[in-house]
Amino acid sequence: MEDSWLKYWDDRFSTKDYAYGKQPNNYLKEQLQQLEVGKILFAAEGEGRNAICAASLGWEVSAFDISLEGKNKALQLANEYGVSLDYQIGQLPELGYKDEQFDVIALIYAHFPAHIKSDYHKLLDKYLVTGGTVIFEAFSKSHLEYRLKNEKAGGPRDIESLFSVEELRSDFADYEIIAMEEKEVTLSEGLYHNGKSSVIRFVGRK
């Protein structure tokens, strides 16, 4: 991973405030409450708000990110909520997860660099049990227009790091699509996700 990418996230997570707040993403929480509790993996989990939500609901939670600053904040938050996380730092291919290890994969604003994002999706697919679920919410390629109008909406500045429905259908080609939509939402998540945004929401069953 490029040093500049790591520095960007370490800088963002090194402040006292939680960059995206302490409350979980609404779509994630809504979807988790419809599933039987099991083992879940959070990709690019940052400061832990979503992983801690799952742990509080009784899930066995694993998470990974490239930022040690993010992990430190996540473990601090987990301590506040009295839950535990298995949180690893590094690049996904090197983290040692096993085939069919997880019942759910959560991809909540997991905007990996453009040149690896599809590879990561396909690797995460291997870690999901047959019959398992992917829960996804992230900015769509249309979001650039929203960001130009309002920087506080957040998200990547390059269209290649954003998502399309077609990309997700390709990356998760054999999945039963439970939900798939691109829609306008109004976000209020910490310091960096605020205002009208264009997102893709996807739930798929392997």
Reading the chain (206 residues) residue by residue, the pLDDT tens digits are 568 888 999 999 999 999 999 999 999 999 999 999 999 999 999 999 999 999 999 999 999 999 999 999 999 999 999 999 999 999 999 999 999 999 999 999 999 999 999 999 999 999 999 999 999 999 999 999 999 999 999 999 999 999 999 999 999 999 999 999 999 999 999 999 999 999 999 999 99
Instruction: Give the per-residue pLDDT at 52.
Output: 98
Instruction: Give the per-residue pLDDT at 3.
Output: 83
Instruction: Give the per-residue pLDDT at 5.
Output: 86
Please tell me the total count of domains within the chain: 1
3-state SS record for the chain = CCHHHHHHHHHHHCCCCCCCCCCCCHHHHHHHCCCCCCEEEECCCCCCHHHHHHHHCCCEEEEEECCHHHHHHHHHHHHHHCCCCEEEECCHHHCCCCCCCEEEEEEECCCCCCCCHHHHHHHHHHCEEEEEEEEEEEEECCHHHHHHHCHHHCCCCCHHHCECHHHHHHHCCCCEEEEEEEEEEEEEECCCEEEEEEEEEEEEEC
Q: Give the domain extent around 136.
A: 3-205
* CA gap 60, 204 in Å, rounded: 20
Q: What is the CATH number of the domain that holds 36?
A: 3.40.50.150
pTM score = 0.97
Instruction: Give the per-residue pLDDT at 2.
Output: 67
